[in-house]
Amino acid sequence: MKRICLHGPESTGKSTLATRLAAHFACEVVPEYGRAYCEGHGTDIGMAELVHIGQAQDAMNCAAAARAAELGSPLVLFDTDPLITEVWAQMMFGV
């Protein structure tokens, strides 16, 4: 099974592209947890929240990959991954 993750700056169309690719290839797409988290909790976040976001994204991505494998799907798409959360931590906190 192939795992494809879209990386890039925010507001560049990754979510739209992921949704369209998933429809085209009839596969699952995992949305960006950080976006949902910030919409529900605000964007004033610290390192603890970024760690939570990264862990939650990783769990969602792993669960989707497991489901795809069980169904014999050749592909799963990730709107983002913990690497991007790490980049945010570096930008925000210099770590």
pTM confidence score: 0.89
Nearest to 30 by CA among 6, 2, 55: 6
Per-residue pLDDT in tens (0 to 9) along the chain, 95 residues: 899 999 888 889 999 999 999 999 999 999 999 999 999 999 999 999 999 999 999 999 999 999 999 999 999 999 999 888 888 889 888 87
Cα gap 93→38, rounded to integer Å: 17
Class of domain 2-93: alpha beta
The domain locations on the chain are 2-93
- At 4, which helix (H) or strand (E)? strand 2-5
With H, G, I as helix, E, B as strand and everything else as coil, classify residue 70: helix
